[in-house]
Structure 1
Amino acid sequence: MFGGKLNPSLLDLKHLNYFDLSFNNFSASPIPEFLGSIKSLTSLNLSNAGFVGVIPHQLGNLSNLLYLNLKSSIFLGLYVNNLQCGVDLSKAFDWLQLTNTLPSLFDLRLSYSQLPFIPPTLIVNFSSLLTLDLSENQFGNTLIPSWIFGLRNLVSLDLFENYFQGPIPIDLQNMTSLKHLDLSLNNFNSSIPNWLYSFSHLEFLNLRYNNLQGIISSAIGNLTSAISIDLSENELGGKLPRSLGNLYNLREIKLSSNNGSQEIFEILERLLACLSNRLEILRLFNSQLYGHLTDELGLLKNLAILDLANNSISSPLLLCYVQIPFFQFNKIDNIFCIWKLADFKCKSRLDSSLSIGDFKLAIMEIRARIFSWLCSQRYLLYLDISNIQISDVIPPSIWNLSSLFIYLNLSHNQINGEILNNPSILSTSSVIDLSSNHFKGSLPYISSSVIVLDLSVNSFSKSISSFLCFKMNDSKSIGYLNLEKNNLSGKIPDCWMKWNSLVVLNLANNNFSGSFPTSIGSLTLLKSLHLYNNKFFGNLPSSLRNCEKLVIIDVAENEFSSLMILNLHSNNFHGHIPKELCALTSLQILDLSHNKLSRGIPGCVKNFSAMATKNNSNLDMKYSTILPLESELLVIKGKALEYSTILHLVKCIDFSNNSLSGEIPKEVTSLQGLQSLNLSYNFFIGSIPENIGAMGSLESIDFSMNQLSGQIPSSMSSLTFLSHLNLSNNNLTGKIPLSTQLQSFSALGFIGNKLCGLPLSNNCTINDVNLDKENKGSKHNGGLEVDWFFVSMALGFVAGFWGVCGPLLLNKQWRIMYFQFLDHTGYKLKSLVLL
């Protein structure tokens, strides 16, 4: 966990060849440029060290470099959020173009570095490069960069999980020196090309999780150097070719989840030809296999992992010949059963009568005698007897077994009894799953070796204190702790500081009470916290802010002081805004800005009742006591300001800088106490909600950089408190409504639209207005909309004109009297002027 900044005094190490900083924490700092001046370096490993930013071009000065590992950093991460600023990302790859300065490099690893793309103009000519790892960068639905195919001397190419599309590129056929090829987890949608089977040097081939179709050609027998082949999770059909048995070096074959349909006996017959003493892993999960599993299986003498789950394989099953430490079956004769029995040989089988016959009978016998059999075992490492309807009382002697269990799963049965304190059976286990049974009593002591512990859905009761605080000198290594749905009660002790490896903590559906201890803040790795349906009260501890990795927090149905502030801005959250968020009715500040959220805003935001009501003095006094020393940095009115003493008065929503889409829901307008609404830099369409004027407390609106259309609602002119408005860069049209507020704003808040009127310099003409209304009528009504204002004005003019002039034209006496009146009036006006 080294961190901080590297000291340039490292330059004094003139003869340094090997420099490895991997698996440290340099706190999102960039790679120091001075590393490029340590000319003697031949190996540089900066993987998993927390570096971010641009890869410095100075690394191109390391002319003696043979090995460069930058795996699991976040390169260009500083730029990804600012793509709209026009940053030229290709400059970050200038160092790669310095082909003459890295002539000796043979191993380059950039996997899991969040590279957004590799510029297609990049030309790389590392003539010595043997290993290239660009896996887990998720370049998106693009083609494999063509420059890779020019690296003819590559021995290892890893492009795992980049979602490249199209067929497997034919240009790969010239890379015949490859020994390791991993194209798994991409979007290739072709068949396996025949030329791939000609790679006689290929030892490891992984095409898992693509959309590969067709059949597996008999030419697969030409991969004579193959040690591991993984074609699982595709859409390959047909039967396995007999030539598969010719791969005499094969140790692993994984063909799970394809569309083939074949008898299990045929597969075993073909594999036994040359592989009976070599094959170690065989995975055919969910492969539509059928038929009987016979004693032929026992001839695979070195088999370590066998997975035939989710097929239609039936008895007889001769366990006597099975000598494998990991043995898994599923849905044999429609009975759901999983076996993971270490060192399961004839001498340690349940009973000789169980080695032959119907598998259903074996399951029945197992249920009846499982515990007595277990007590006789001495070498079991893995035991999974979950979900086979065991309903016995577990004997106390079981907990004193001398077996050194690594994996223990008794879940989803009806096992009764208590767990003895300090049981030896749990002293060495890494994974313990006793969930969904009827265990009772106090929670057992768990040793520091346990990594996963699931005791959920049982009847454990009493306090949790002795469990959490037992031997405080010991630190726990446990990462997953699930105690949900028990009868545990009492207060949670302040003992979490020794559980700092926890990633998932689930205490939901118990009877815990009291306030939650502040030591929860020491769980800096915590990602998921479930406290649902207990009797906790008071405030959530402010130390939770130390749990920076939290992505799930469920505190519903407790008596906590209602959550008022949820600030998750500037992370990498993705997916959609969950509707469950609307249950936080007391929220006053919701900031999800600068993430990767997509889809729309849920209409249930109307449930934010604290935002729907205007501030009142009684509530203000109450909340000011809840947040006496709190402060938050919020972006309101286009400025980042820190709010402290008046924080309890602020009500705002900020969803800016995401990938949200759809229309702005009209339910937003029910939040009449909201003061700031920022939806900028998204992909919203449709019109601004017509009733936005009902949000009378709004002081700041920012809808800029979206795709909104239509006119600015006239109701916006009634927002008398509005002091910041930005509607720029949308598709808005028509005249800006007249009000004392809107015309006082800067014109910059309206540019990038088709608007007219103040504060813009382009005035609206009658033709412009008519055109806008015509377009609006065409869009919404399918034709021209009649403007009755102008129609009535024209009719009024006609009626007024003929109402006066008509009688004068028709009656001569009226005309004489009218003109005499005009002469008399004119004479009087002339006399007044002369005076």
Structure 2
Amino acid sequence: MDSSLGSIRLIFLGLLIIASIHPNFFCSGDYEVHCIKSEQHALLKFKQHLKDPLNRLASWASDGDCCQWAGVVCHNVTACLILLVVENFLTDDGQHEVQYEAYVQSMFGGKINPSLLDLKHLNYLDLSNNDFSGTPIPKFLGSIGSLRYLNLSNARFVGVIPHQLGNLSNLYYLDLQGYGLYANNLQWLSGLPSLQHLDMSHVNLRKASDWLQVTSKLMSLLEFRLSDCELRFIPSTPNGNFSFLVSLDLSGNFFENTFIPLWIFGLPNLVSFDLSDNGFQGPILDDLQNMTSLKHLYLSGNHFNHQIPIWLYSFSHLKFLDLHSNNLQGTISSAIENLTSAISIDFSYNELGGKVPRSLGNLCNLREIKLSSNKWSQEISEILESLSGCLSEKLEILELTDAQLLGHLTGELGMFKNLVKLTFVYNSISGPIPMSLGNLSSLRVLDLANNQFKGSLPQNFGQLSKLETLFIESNMLEGVVSEVHFSNLTRLIELFAFGNRLTLKVSHDWIPPFQIEELNLQSWNLGPKFPQWLCSQRNLRRLDISNTGVLDVVPLSFWDSSSQFEYLNLANNLFHGEIPYCPMILSTSSVIDLSSNHFNGPLPCISSNVIVLDLSNNSFSGSISHLLCFKVNEPKQLGFLNLEKNHLSGKIPNCWTKWKKLEFLNLGNNNFTGNIPASIRSLTLLKSLRLHNNKLSGKLQSSLKNCEKLENIDVAENEFFGSIPSWIGHKCSSLMILNLRSNNFHGHIPEELCALTSLQILDLSHNKLSGSMPTCVKNFSAMATKNISNHDMSFRFTSSYDEILPRESALLVIKGRIFEYSTIL
């Protein structure tokens, strides 16, 4: 539902409650009355139990006038406190990490003190958007009988909603939306006869089967929201009458109903109607055309896999129409020009085809067009031309992602000067990026990724002063990018530009005008010197400058700020030198990939929060004890650890007990000695164990029996001895690769191995085995039969970390030569 409707509602209800008794509410002049001492004392007690990390209630002092405190309004005649707002506000920019963190840090917390009961005339209480985590909604709020407005939304209260709220018989407005709350019934709502606005979105109402029976009897109800409440079923008939209802939102419940109950179409005054994400089937019912007051219609995320009904185009009063993700068929009719009031149209993620009708350009009030993931197969220039009429002056959002678009972007793009968001990702648009794009001075989001753009990046990109997000990855752009390209990009927060052939040339002491949060310049030419300007980026959370030709030492100032990273990829460069051992770096990172460089010295310290760590193919040396045994009693989150191809030595330490989430472990091609430690039995989720080409010895530990999810065991080129354990065939039933090559195993090949029906590679060569091959090897039904000399063998190991894992591989000896076969996990 659009934000303007919510803002209007909030302003209206606020004025409705207090304007008549406080006409100077919005004035900033001195009050003629001073607050009542008992109410001042009540507020100070309330403050004592609040957590206020940013001291937002600094004005609440014992020697002050509480009627002039922040968030407080008193009656201008009686001086009674009538309004209390202790809420938090997330701006439109809050989707970006830095702004969201600031929003979280400013949240109030703690407990709600019962001193609020001493505010005998309190009409309006707003505690929304705070963090009262772990605490239930106080029951005593139901005893503040003067309340007309109560907003506890997104305040992180938990537990059952107290039925005492049903005692607030004067309540006009009740907002309880947020996760963590539940109600087993809604009978308590019957005590709120004056209720006009009810929002319980995200509250778990799975057991509240009386939800419709109770709410349909609230005769004053105008706005009703139960989005994402796990409701199971919409009864075929309500027990009461929703005849005055203006707004209805039952989205995100995935009802067991196959079709929308007919009584809903009989609500004559509905202005806003949201049944999105419920899985309803069939065509969009013709009964909907009787709802002539509708201005907001949201039916996305259902299965209306028919054509858009022709009568829908006659809704000239409709302002917001959202039908995305429905498998709609056919075309968009030229009759769409009859939707003359339309502000936003979303037909994305359907099966629509044909051409975008030229008549769409006649909708002069349209601000948003979303047509992504359909089958337009149309020249992009033709679409822009059809939209270049009166619409071009007001359009703010144009989304045509994955729309099978062809051709070149033309100069007509520059006509859409009010565009805020433009996305053409995953198409086949080719040619240069036009200079006219630099005229889009309002642009905040530009996504041209995964196309076939060629040529250089226009220098006037640097004039897009409001640009926050720029995605141009996976194109064929080339040439030099200079400081001019970034000259006025003061708001840039995200830049993804990998998969091109671009070279960055800036002065050594360049300081960008932006503070970026996410940056991916993979495969750019940034070298040979380290890009010093990165050290000026205080908000950087995700950084990928892998394969960028840097041959340098990473400066200490970069490591000093590295604790802020959640994702860091410096792989495939020529970085050298040591990584500071202490203090701990990369303390918040989820993914660290420093592979294929020339780093040396001891391994760095990492935090227990790291999920993926790849330090392979470097020159690290010494023991790994400090890495594995650091804070030995603290549970580790690591799922992928690759230390292959270094100069590490010593014994593998026996401290794996807290590494229970590890799925992939590669210590191959080092100089480790000794046995496999017994505590490796704790790795019950382990899927790949690679210890090849070390100096390990002893027998294969029976502790590996616990690692029943193993799909890859590679201990080749070590000094293991004894017989091949028969338990491998029983305990490792998912094995795809078993490589015991070049050890000192002796005895017979156990027949139990034949139970490994998923096995694709079995290498037992260069051991001291005797006897004959078991006849049951025919059971290896998954054994690869491809012509492996063509290097086309691959493996897919399942993983919990598919989106972030580096590549895993298997080594195979063919005619004396070692080949590496890789898979993308």
With normalisation by structure 1, the TM-score equals 0.57
CA distance in 2, matches of 1:243, 1:160: 26
Q: Do the aligned partners of residues 167 and 555 (structure 1) sit closer, same or farther apart at CA in structure 2, a change above 3 Å counting?
A: farther
Give the aligned partner of residue 622 of structure 2.
613
* 1:655/1:679 contact within 8 Å kept: no
Q: 1:392 and 2:407 equivalent? A: yes
Greater shift, 584-593 or 654-663, is seen at 654-663
Distance 1:160 1:252 in 2: 18
SS at match of 1:313: coil
- Taking a change above 3 Å as real, the CA distance of residues 294 and 675 of structure 1, as seen in their structure-2 partners, is closer
- Partners of 1:524 and 1:662 lie apart in 2 by 26
Instruction: Tell me the distance in 1 between the aligned counterparts of 2:607 and 2:583.
Output: 5
Q: Pick from 228, 235, 250: which aligns with 2:247?
A: 228
Alpha carbons of 1:161 and 1:380: their partners in 2 closer, same or farther (altered >3 Å)?
Answer: same
In the TM superposition, what is the alpha-carbon distance from 1:567 to its structure 2 partner?
A: 8.7
Provide Cα deviations, 1:618-651, integer angstroms capped at 9, x if missing partner: xxxxxxxxxxxxxxxxxxxxxxxxxxxxxxx986
Which residue of structure 2 lines up, in the alignment, with residue 69 of structure 1?
Answer: 86
Matched, 1:158 2:185: no
Equivalent residues of 1:111, 1:135 under 8 A apart: yes
Residue 423 of structure 1 deviates from its aligned partner by 4.2
The alpha-carbon deviation at position 488 of structure 1 amounts to 0.7
Name the SS for the 2:60 alignment partner: helix
Cα distance 1:138–1:375, how it changes in 2: closer, same or farther (>3 A)?
A: closer
Distance, in Å, in 1 between the alignment partners of 2:638 and 2:435 is 57
Name the CA distance, whole Å, in 1 between partners of 2:623 and 2:161.
Answer: 56
Query: Measured at CA, do residues 571 and 515 of structure 1 come closer, stay the same or move farther in structure 2, by a change above 3 Å?
Result: closer
SS in 2 for 1:511: coil
Shift of 1:427: 2.6
Please say if residues 339 and 383 of structure 1, whose CA atoms lie closer than 8 Å, have aligned partners that are also in contact: no
Aligned to 2:146: 128
Distance 1:262-1:342 versus aligned 2 partners, 3 A rule: same
Cα-to-partner distance string for 1:582-611 (whole Å, 9 max, x where unaligned): 999977343536x7x9xxx88x89979999
Distance 1:417 1:177 in 2: 62
| Residue 302, structure 1, aligned to residue 321, structure 2 | no
Do the aligned residues in 2 keep the contact of 1:233 with 1:255 (CA within 8 Å)? yes
Contact 2:308 2:329 in 1 (8 A): yes
CA distance in 1: counterparts of 2:538 and 2:476, whole angstroms: 30
Q: 1:379 to 1:172 in 2, by over 3 A?
A: same
Report the Cα offset of residue 534 of structure 1.
1.8
CA 1:326 to 1:14, structure 2 compared with 1: closer, same or farther past 3 Å? closer
Aligned residues of 1:651 and 1:675 also touching (Cα < 8 A): no
The AA in structure 2 aligned to 1:240 is I
Change (3 A) 1:481 1:284: same
Match of 2:219 in 1: 200
Q: Is the 8 A contact 1:491 1:514 kept in 2?
A: no
How far apart are 1:301 and its partner, in Å?
A: 1.4
Q: Give 1:195 deviation, angstroms.
A: 0.5
Tell me, yes or no, if structure 1 residue 282 matches structure 2 residue 291: no
Q: Is the 8 A contact 1:611 1:672 kept in 2?
A: no
CA contact (8 A) 1:522 1:546 kept: no
Classify the secondary structure of the residue corresponding to 1:66. strand
Tell me the distance in 2 between the aligned counterparts of 1:339 and 1:565.
61
* AA in 2 matched with 1:305: F
Classify the secondary structure of the residue corresponding to 1:291. Answer: coil
SS at match of 2:474: coil
Q: Decide which of 383, 397, 417 is 1:370's aligned counterpart.
A: 383
Q: In the alignment, is residue 502 of structure 1 matched against residue 516 of structure 2?
A: yes
The residue aligned with 2:194 is 177
Structure 1 unaligned residues grouped into runs of 5+: 1-11, 20-25, 48-61, 74-91, 349-358, 616-648, 685-693, 698-705, 707-835
CA separation of 1:340/1:560 partners in 2, compared to 1, >3 Å: closer, same or farther? Answer: farther
Instruction: Name the counterpart of 2:479.
Output: 462
- Supply the AA of the counterpart residue of 1:263: P
Paired residue type of 1:393:
H
Aligned residues: 582
Q: For the residues of structure 2 that align with 1:523 and 1:443, how far apart are their CA atoms?
A: 23
Which amino acid counterpart does residue 126 of structure 1 have in structure 2? I
Partner Cα separation in structure 2 for residue 568 and residue 288 of structure 1? 55
Q: What is the aligned partner in structure 2 of residue 189 from structure 1?
A: 206
Distance verdict in 2 for CA 1:121–1:675, change over 3 Å: farther
User: Is the 2:593–2:614 Cα contact (8 Å) retained in structure 1?
Assistant: no
Residue equivalent to 1:355:
none
Label 1:424 to 1:571 Cα distance change in 2 as closer, same or farther (>3 A): closer
> Comparing 559-568 with 296-305, which one deviates more in the overlay?
559-568
Name the counterpart of 1:432: 446
Q: Does 1:292 align with 2:307?
A: yes
CA distance in 1, matches of 2:197, 2:587: 32
Letter in 1 for 2:238: A
Evaluate the alpha carbon distance shift between residue 399 and residue 320 of structure 1 in structure 2; reply closer, same or farther with a 3 A threshold: closer
Distance 2:54 2:656 in 1: 30
Residues 612 and 674 in structure 1, CA contact (< 8 A), matched pair in contact too: no
Would you say 1:35 and 2:60 are equivalent positions?
yes
SS of the residue aligned with 1:383? strand
Is there any run of 5+ residues in structure 2 with no aligned partner, and where? 1-29, 44-50, 73-78, 91-108, 367-372, 662-670, 675-681, 683-825
CA distance in 2, matches of 1:342, 1:567: 61
The aligned residue for residue 260 of structure 2 is 240
Letter of the 2:281 counterpart: S
Secondary structure, in 3 states, of the residue corresponding to 1:296?
helix
Indicate which of 571, 575, 584 corresponds to 1:556.
571
Amino acid of the structure 2 residue aligned with 1:261: Q
1:314-325 alignment to 2 at 5 Å? 314-315=329-330, 317=333, 318-323=335-340, 324-325=342-343
2:399 counterpart letter in structure 1:
D
Higher helix share: 1
Map of 1:443 onto structure 2: 457
Change in CA separation of 1:108 and 1:335 when aligned onto 2, cut-off 3 Å: same
Residues 238-284 of structure 1: per-residue CA shift (max 9 Å, x gap): 43334334434422211111132242142533424xx2xxx222111
Amino acid at match of 1:442: S
Check whether the contact 1:392–1:414 (CA below 8 A) recurs between aligned residues: yes
Match of 1:107 among 124, 133, 149: 124
Q: 1:27 to 1:459 in 2, by over 3 A?
A: farther
Shift of the 71–374 alpha-carbon distance from structure 1 to 2, 3 Å rule, reads closer
Distance in 2 of aligned mates of 1:570 and 1:660: 16
For the structure 1 residues 660 and 287, does the alpha-carbon distance in structure 2 shift closer, same or farther, using more than 3 Å as the test? same
Q: Aligned runs of 1:236-275 on 2, under 5 Å?
A: 236=255, 237-272=257-292, 275=293
- Residues 521-566 of structure 1, C-alpha deviations (whole Å, 9 max, x = no match): 4433433222233223434455555587543333222333477359
Paired residue for 2:232?
213
CA distance in 1, matches of 2:277, 2:168: 33
Q: Residue 119 of structure 1: CA displacement?
A: 5.5
In the TM superposition, what are the counterparts of 1:618-697 in structure 2 within 5 Å? 654=630
TM-score after normalising by structure 2: 0.58
Measured at CA, do residues 401 and 605 of structure 1 come closer, stay the same or move farther in structure 2, by a change above 3 Å? Answer: closer
Do the aligned residues in 1 keep the contact of 2:138 with 2:162 (CA within 8 Å)?
A: no
CA spacing shift, 1:433–1:653, aligned 2, 3 Å: same
SS of the counterpart of 1:288? Answer: coil
State the match for 1:379 in structure 2: 393
Q: Matched residues in 2 for 1:135 and 1:569: separation?
A: 39
1:326 equivalenced with 2:344 (yes/no): yes
Q: Residue deviations 1:208-263, cap 9 Å, x none?
A: 22321112554398333433322111121243334334434422211111132242
Identity over aligned residues, as a percent?
20
Kept after mapping to 1: 8 A contact 2:563/2:588: no
- Mapping 1:456-605, distance limit 5 Å: 456-470=473-487, 474=488, 476-491=490-505, 493=507, 497-544=511-558, 545=560, 550-561=565-576, 564=579, 588-592=603-607
Letter in 2 for 1:613: G
| Cα distance, 1:441–1:180 mapped onto 2, change above 3 Å | same
User: Aligned pair in 2 of structure 1 residues 302, 613: CA closer, same or farther (>3 Å)?
Assistant: same
Residue type at the aligned position of 2:382: R
Give, in whole Å, the separation in 1 of the partners of 2:163 and 2:509: 56
